[in-house]
Amino acid sequence: MAEKITPRSVDYSQWYIDIILNAKLADYSPVKGSMVIRPRGYSIWERLRDELDRRFKATGHQNAYFPMFIPMSFLKKEAEHVEGFSPELAVVTHAGGEELEEPLVVRPTSETIIWHMYKSWIQSYRDLPLLYNQWANVVRWEKRTRLFLRTAEFLWQEGHTAHETKEDAIEETLRMLNVYKDFVEEYLCLPVIAGKKSESEKFAGAVDTYSIEAMMQDFKALQAGTSHFLGQNFAKAFDVQFQTRSGTLDYVWATSWGVSTRLIGAIIMTHSDDKGLVLPPTLAQEELVVIPIFKTDSKTDVLRYAQDVTSMLRDRGRRVVLDDDDTASPGWKFAEWEMRGVPIRIEAGPKDMAQGTVVMVRRDTGEKVTVKKDEIVQRADELLKAIQKNLFERAKQFRDKHTKDIADYESMKQYFSTDSAGVSDSNSGFARGLWCGSKECEAKLKADTKATIRCLPLDDQDDINGVCALCGAPAKHRAIFARAY
RNA sequence: CGGGUUGUAGCGCAGGGGCUAGCGCGCUUGGUUCGGGACCAAGAGGUCGUGGGUUCAAUUCCCACCAGCCCGACCA
């Protein structure tokens, strides 16, 4: 494998692609804009999905599955919704050798077909709340695609809940936003800002959209998850009414929320380095790799020693693999497993065997320690925890270092200026500033700098005394501005 | 959908109006190596993107088409 990873400083986009291809996470497919998720990438998705699913169930949700084909007419029932999604729909017009009476849309999201079903399942307040989630693939025919971040087809989960009152629905929207925040911070080590989207950035058909926003190593923001308060929009579009406790009729209140395989892109762009992938231990297919180092005469003994170390760890439930391939050199293996992002490498050679030790090397810092054999299990435990913690802290420090308070438009333009190649300089990042709430201000900033309002942070709306950083009018919110993926 | 760019071995590329179409990596077999991407030897592997044209002769020149990738507007 002679192909090298392009350093981040040379070409960040190419670096990202190189990581994915070299670590064998995904590959381009014969279908334009669609990718193949390879086993090493899919295993990340599986681990992430299983943990998130556990958290959904812990908050009272159930999984269901709805069809991927949606009658075109369903989409048209919610005006904003269809307007938002039409440009990117894939439509099936023929099936079974005949033209269909009504074209079927390959779902870009499932609100419409789900609310069609909810109509027949909800009659009374006793039927509420309905807390359903589905794990599915969706299709959005984007013009411009990028592995994991934006592909024509992607995997995600979409929660769709129905509630008796507005308050219940809003509470659910925020609850799930927090489930996402806790999950990505604890499990994926991605520090995020939870906030509300501006009017122009919200989901087509929502009353309010909330998101969690992460910062990538090129200082751009990535929306890592969304939670929508849908009001009664879909209930009205699909005529879903229920009898209230007082006997009157009311429309059902709704939420929807989702995260996708895009999270894998976020993990790569937050933690990885020029040697390859860096993964939080929670997500790694292998937590540790044992690499025996032997000469021909010591081969048998060293292999037995390495096997012994591997078994010790495996018996304690660690995900560990022994790389006993004798056709590759140790140096090769070091590089290869670093590329794959395995959190800890254990080197076991003749010197270690003689002393009853191994060398343990952290992927995140490169730090090497010599560990006695009977302490390996415990040290592995400690190191894995330390790596998990360090990845989060490191990312958080990076983000905080690249977040700046900005109060006027000139400084804002300066902050988001780019070099001739369109690359942000290292002083760029998130801008924290006041905003008057007008669409025009937002549009002007976007036109001038490509930066947009990522969100209005929920926990940072105190002391709004001052003027909009964009136009100087009295401010109503505090916002995070950034360029985004 | 606009702009750019590329299609030659699995990957990255070179080449060239006719002759056995090459190079590096990877792959296979055997041997020597092995504490940061080892080496030797012998092999396997090609409708030169597709269609048409020019020509005695096209993978090479011309035209069209198709596809991929990159960059923009749209978006998780």
Q: Nucleotide B38: nearest residue by CA–C1'? A: A329
Strands (E), A142-240: 153-163, 193-196, 208-215, 221-231
Nucleotide nearest to A28 (CA to C1'): B68
Query: How big is chain A, counted in residues?
Result: 485
Q: For chain A, how big is the Rg over CA atoms in Å? A: 25
Closest alpha carbon to A239 in A105, A118, A104, A80: A118
The 8-class DSSP code of residue A247 comes to S
Q: Which nucleotides of B are covered by protein (CB under 7 A)?
A: 1, 11, 24-26, 32-38, 67-76
Distance CA A30 to C1' B68 in A: 9
Instruction: Judge contact between A293 and A322, C-beta under 8 A.
Output: no
Distance CA A4 to C1' B28 in A: 25
Nucleotide nearest to A201 (CA to C1'): B75
Enclosing H/E stretch for A320: strand A320-322
Distance CA A33 to C1' B17 in A: 39
pLDDT score at A362: 98
Distance CA A422 to C1' B48 in A: 37
pLDDT score at A1: 36
pLDDT score at A427: 66
Nucleotide nearest to A357 (CA to C1'): B35
Collapsed DSSP state (helix, strand, coil) of residue A335: helix
Main-chain dihedrals φ then ψ at residue A161, nearest 5 degrees: -120, 155
CATH superfamily of A403-482: C-terminal domain of ProRS (3.30.110.30)
Nucleotide nearest to A350 (CA to C1'): B35
Domain A288-383 has CATH 3.40.50.800: yes
Helix and strand totals (H; E) in chain A: 14, 23
Task: Give the whole-angstrom CA distance, residue A482 versus residue A73.
Answer: 37
Distance CA A365 to C1' B45 in A: 42
Tell me the per-residue pLDDT of A131-141, one tens digit each, with 9 for 90 and over. Answer: 999 999 999 88
Topology annotation, domain A12-271: BirA Bifunctional Protein; domain 2 (3.30.930)
Residue with tokens 């490509």: A450
Task: Give the whole-angstrom CA distance, residue A218 versus residue A208.
Answer: 29
pLDDT score at A422: 53
pLDDT tens track of chain A, all 485 residues? 335 788 888 788 888 888 888 898 988 877 777 888 989 999 999 999 999 999 999 999 999 999 999 999 999 998 888 888 888 888 888 888 888 999 999 999 999 999 999 999 999 999 999 999 999 999 988 877 888 988 888 999 999 999 999 999 999 999 999 999 999 999 999 999 999 999 989 998 999 999 999 999 989 999 999 999 999 999 999 999 999 999 999 999 999 999 999 999 999 999 999 999 999 999 999 999 999 999 988 999 999 999 999 999 999 999 999 999 988 999 999 999 999 999 999 999 999 999 999 999 999 999 999 999 999 999 999 999 999 999 999 999 999 999 999 999 999 988 988 664 555 566 689 999 999 999 999 989 988 888 999 999 999 999 899 999 999 999 999 999 999 98
Instruction: Judge contact between A235 and A115, C-beta under 8 A.
Output: yes
Task: Give the whole-angstrom CA distance, residue A343 versus residue A321.
Answer: 12
Structural domain boundaries of chain A? 12-271, 288-383, 403-482
What is the ipTM metric for this complex?
0.83
Distance CA A457 to C1' B47 in A: 60
Distance CA A219 to C1' B4 in A: 26
pLDDT score at A419: 60
